[in-house]
């Protein structure tokens, strides 16, 4: 393959005739879809499930992704080098990692219950919403003239969240000197019968006491770990399933496929799935904005469906790549230790011989 641009179609055709390369590209695209989707909406998932603020959820997600992603990437390269895996063995390692993360993703069957929110998950008197329709106005705040455009959740002393201090019927505000949060008082919508002399609310969401939180976080860590663990082996398998002269070009083609089919549509696919679980949308001058509150059970269910679809596709592509694998002409014979030895051996074989003494 020389530098002439006219050989480019022939180079592409040779790669298209390599089924192992094609299915490794498709498997990489499915993994990239999951990585892009989870990196975009992972913090939103934690924020909804554990009733965290956006900053807390992003920090929490960072604590998961950095060690799991970095450790998985390092471990994948270490395993390939440690066991001197050839191309077929590397593809099997990728398959094992994908199946492991596929099994771990079933943890999304578990979810934390929504924190009760007046007018969104229940009526102000604690009863169920008729027909599931939102109703942020009640007798206790009807005279306040509350605007739905201002979303500032508060947590009442009754353990119920309210859309804003106005929707809780609060009349005065002070600052808690211990944590710096605003404390709203004389809130007419907060049930004082349960807590005599109270009727207060604090700025922010109510804290979730979900007992499933450690289990969810542990398995999310496992999913991220095994997803990244297959990244370096998959890259190595791509380089080894094509001839030496095609490696750079094959890597470029693979990145185009991965970005086009995985990295770009990933957030779009995950976003459309997760938005189906939205309970409360932002209202921007009559137009739908971002989602304020998700239904946790539906959110977990849709995340599970999206994860299963792409993990099953990735598993299938790795299986087909493994079954259709044929060593390229430049790959070393089965008795060699490492494919890197091919290069030096080829150089020795093609080195021009010196003229014999009798020829001089």
CA dihedral 38→41→42→48, nearest 10 degrees, is: -150
Q: Which of 263, 305, 272 is nearest to 39 (CA)?
A: 263
Tell me: do 164 and 276 sit in the same domain: no
User: Per-residue DSSP letters for 232-253?
Assistant: HHHHHHHHHSS-GGGHHHHHHH
Tell me: do 194 and 232 sit in the same domain: no
Percent of the chain with pLDDT over 70: 88
- At 167, the pLDDT band (50, 70, 90 cuts) reads very high
Q: Is the pLDDT of residue 98 over 50?
A: yes
Q: How far apart are the first and last CA of the chain?
A: 35
For residue 321, the model assigns a pLDDT of 97
Determine how β-strand 201-203 pairs with β-strand 182-185.
antiparallel
Higher pLDDT, 184 or 129: 184
pLDDT tens digit sequence for 231-278 = 999 999 999 999 998 999 999 999 999 999 999 999 998 999 899 999
Boundary residue ending a domain (184, 207, 230) = 207
Domain count, the chain: 2
Tell me: do 122 and 37 sit in the same domain: no
Q: Where are the alpha helices (DSSP H) in the chain?
A: 8-16, 19-49, 54-82, 87-104, 213-229, 231-240, 247-258, 265-274, 296-323, 341-350
Tell me: do 108 and 121 sit in the same domain: no
- At 196, the pLDDT band (50, 70, 90 cuts) reads low
Percent of the chain with pLDDT over 90: 69
User: Per-residue DSSP letters for 289-358?
Assistant: EEEEEE-HHHHHHHHHHHHHHHHHHHHHHHHHHHHT----TTSPPTT-S-TTHHHHHHHHHHSPPPPPGG
pTM of the model: 0.84
Tell me: do 271 and 311 sit in the same domain: yes
For residue 178, the model assigns a pLDDT of 84
Tell me: do 105 and 231 sit in the same domain: yes
Most confident range (mean pLDDT) of 293-302, 321-330, 335-344 is: 293-302
Tell me: do 105 and 221 sit in the same domain: yes
Tell me: do 163 and 309 sit in the same domain: no
Q: Which of 171, 115, 121, 102 is nearest to 143 (CA)?
A: 171
For residue 344, the model assigns a pLDDT of 42
- At 133, the pLDDT band (50, 70, 90 cuts) reads confident
Q: What's the average model confidence in pLDDT over 122-151?
A: 85
For residue 180, the model assigns a pLDDT of 86
Domain with 158, as residue range(s), is 116-207
pLDDT tens digit sequence for 3-47 = 567 778 888 999 999 999 999 999 999 999 999 999 999 999 999
Tell me: do 258 and 304 sit in the same domain: yes
Is there a domain that residue 191 lies in? yes
CATH of the domain at 38: 1.20.1250.20
For residue 357, the model assigns a pLDDT of 43
For residue 131, the model assigns a pLDDT of 64
Tell me: do 148 and 127 sit in the same domain: yes
Is there a domain that residue 45 lies in? yes
Q: Is the pLDDT of residue 288 over 80?
A: yes
């Amino acid at each position: 393959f020389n530098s002439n641009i006219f050989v480019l179609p022939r180079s592409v055709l040779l790669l298209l005739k390599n089924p192992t390369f094609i299915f490794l590209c498709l498997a990489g695209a499915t993994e990239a879809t999951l990585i892009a989707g989870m990196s975009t909406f992972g913090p939103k998932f934690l924020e909804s499930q554990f009733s965290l603020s956006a900053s807390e959820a992003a920090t929490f997600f960072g604590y998961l992704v950095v060690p799991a992603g970095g450790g998985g990437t390092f471990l994948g390269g270490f395993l390939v080098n440690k066991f001197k895996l050839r191309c077929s063995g590397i593809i099997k390692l990728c398959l094992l990692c994908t199946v492991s993360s596929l099994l771990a993703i079933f943890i999304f069957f578990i979810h934390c219950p929504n924190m009760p929110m007046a007018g969104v998950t229940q009526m102000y008197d604690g009863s169920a919403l008729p027909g599931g329709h939102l109703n942020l106005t009640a007798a206790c705040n009807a005279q306040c003239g509350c605007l739905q455009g201002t979303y500032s959740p508060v947590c009442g002393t009754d353990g119920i969240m309210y859309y804003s201090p106005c929707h809780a019927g609060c009349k005065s505000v002070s600052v808690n000197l211990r944590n710096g949060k605003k404390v709203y008082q004389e809130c007419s919508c907060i049930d004082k019968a349960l807590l005599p002399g109270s009727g207060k609310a604090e700025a922010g969401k109510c804290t979730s006491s979900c007992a499933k939180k450690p289990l969810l976080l542990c398995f999310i860590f496992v999913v991220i770990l095994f997803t990244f663990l297959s990244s370096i082996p998959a890259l190595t398998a791509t380089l080894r399933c094509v001839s030496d002269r095609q490696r750079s070009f094959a890597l470029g083609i693979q990145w185009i496929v991965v970005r086009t089919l995985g990295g770009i549509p990933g957030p779009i696919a995950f976003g459309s799935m997760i938005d189906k679980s939205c309970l409360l949308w932002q209202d921007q001058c009559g137009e739908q904005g971002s989602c304020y509150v998700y239904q946790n059970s539906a959110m977990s269910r849709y995340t599970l469906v999206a994860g299963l679809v792409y993990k099953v596709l990735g598993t299938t592509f790795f299986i087909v790549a493994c079954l259709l694998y044929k060593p390229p002409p430049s790959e070393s014979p089965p008795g060699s230790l490492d494919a890197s030895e091919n290069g030096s051996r080829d150089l020795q074989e093609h080195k021009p011989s010196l003229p014999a003494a009798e020829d001089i």
